[in-house]
């Protein structure tokens, strides 16, 4: 049966690396990296995410800037906050917590973040740089998945990688990142005709559909590596998009939920914030 991919352990290693990198940068006379989080409204899940990001940032020795706006904030007000943080050289990274209230245009807001402070990798510039295979800041969840696969020495060059989901946040950048690593990539989504058949091609199956229990053993080739991005809160705690017990019988490696992909997202946010600070202080753009 499958070995587990321990995302908690890898995330801890990444966070330690970042803390060391922050200390080195400061010892060399550089500015302390700082992350600015912007929270608009009072969505309870977003509040928890932002709190965890701020704590992790402080724990890594970075400065924590935070702006809170009411649910009724106008586009112009959020834009002004972004402009102010953009102009502040103590702020290395700007993160607009999504989703924002429905009357705001999140795409337009994101594009006001300077691309070298775009630590979520969601501005049109960084998305374009990824699509062109140029250096830049990458979305945290898919970047964390690549790091997990590297840590477990899962080969990507020439591998068949199937990504389930095509969201701007996860599926699309995931496909681009493994394409940049020379995988043969298939992207499935809600209109895919025979999902299980497409998934069975995979040497590496990455599932980010947001549908509980979507993937069972009929969709997994024996020996495949399975990465479950889904997060669903049920009566007995968290689960993913994968029927874990079934899939663990045929896969060679699988991520648990919780403790797989989840912890990597914040770790990669810290990594991106350090990379952004170095970039702003004269280092090369973050490598692919
Ligand atoms: P989303 O809803 O924006 O996108 C889901 C994608 O899955 C869509 O492209 C859709 O076409 C596809 N899809 C939906 N139903 C499908 C089906 N039946 N068959 C095939 N494809 C289907 O979601 P998202 O933001 O990409 O997030 C996906 C999941 O990952 C969610 O459960 C979310 O909570 C979780 N997530 C986890 C982390 C993390 O840190 N672990 C980060 C982001 C998202």
Quote the tokens at residue 87: 């102009």
20 is known as an active-site residue: no
* Rg, Å, the chain Cα set: 19
Residue of minimum CA distance from atom 3 in ligand 1: 167
Active site residue 120: yes
* 237-239/232-234 β-pairing: antiparallel
d(CA 97, CA 278): 23
pLDDT at 282: 93
This model of the complex carries an ipTM of: 0.98
Strand partners, 184: 160
Question: Which CATH architecture group holds 29-114?
Answer: 3-Layer(aba) Sandwich (3.40)
- Asked if 95 and 11 touch (Cβ cutoff 8 Å), the reply is no
Q: Locate the domains of the chain by residue range.
A: 29-114, 140-263
pLDDT tens by residue, the chain, 288 residues: 999 999 999 999 999 999 999 999 999 999 999 999 999 999 999 999 999 999 999 999 999 999 999 999 999 999 999 999 999 999 999 999 999 999 999 999 999 999 999 999 999 999 999 999 999 999 999 999 999 999 999 999 999 999 999 999 999 999 999 999 999 999 999 999 999 999 999 999 999 999 999 999 999 999 999 999 999 999 989 999 999 999 999 999 999 999 999 999 999 999 999 999 999 999 999 986
Confidence (pLDDT) at 287: 80
pLDDT of residue 69: 98
For the CA of 211, the closest atom of ligand 1 is: 15
What CATH fold (topology level) applies to the domain 140-263?
Rossmann fold (3.40.50)
pTM: 0.98
Q: Are 173 and 121 in contact (CB under 8 A)?
A: yes
Domains 29-114 and 140-263 share a fold: yes
- Ligand 1 contact, 123 CB (< 6 A): no
Instruction: Tell me the C-alpha to C-alpha distance, in Å, between residue 254 and each of 23, 127, 228, 275.
Output: 34, 28, 8, 29
Closest C-alpha residue for ligand 1 atom 19: 190
């Amino acid at each position: 049966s499958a070995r587990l991919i321990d995302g908690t352990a890898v995330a801890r290693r990444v966070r330690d690396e970042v803390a060391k990198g922050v200390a080195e940068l400061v010892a060399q006379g550089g500015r302390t990296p700082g992350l600015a989080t912007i929270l608009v409204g009072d969505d309870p899940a977003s509040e928890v995410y932002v709190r965890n990001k701020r704590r992790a940032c402080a724990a890594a020795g970075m400065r924590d800037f935070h702006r809170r706006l009411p649910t009724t904030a106008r586009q112009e007000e959020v834009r002004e906050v972004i402009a102010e943080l953009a102009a502040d050289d103590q702020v290395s990274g700007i993160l607009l917590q999504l989703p924002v209230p429905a009357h705001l245009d999140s795409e337009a807001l994101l594009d006001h973040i300077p691309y070298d402070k775009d630590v979520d990798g969601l501005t049109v510039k960084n998305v374009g740089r990824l699509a062109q295979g140029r250096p830049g800041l990458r979305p945290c969840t898919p970047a964390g998945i690549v790091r997990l696969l590297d840590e477990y020495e899962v080969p990507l060059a020439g591998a068949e990688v199937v990504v389930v989901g095509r969201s701007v946040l996860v599926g699309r950048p995931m496909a681009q990142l493994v394409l940049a690593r020379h995988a043969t990539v298939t992207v499935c989504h809600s209109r895919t005709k025979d999902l299980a058949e497409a998934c069975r091609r995979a040497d590496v199956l990455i599932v980010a559909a947001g549908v509980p229990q979507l993937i069972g053993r009929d969709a997994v080739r024996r020996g495949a590596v399975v990465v479950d991005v889904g997060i669903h809160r049920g009566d007995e705690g968290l689960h993913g998009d994968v029927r874990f017990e079934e899939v663990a019988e045929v896969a060679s490696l699988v991520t648990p939920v919780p403790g797989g992909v989840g912890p990597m997202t914040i770790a990669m946010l810290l990594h991106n914030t350090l990379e952004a600070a170095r970039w702003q202080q004269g280092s090369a753009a973050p490598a692919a």
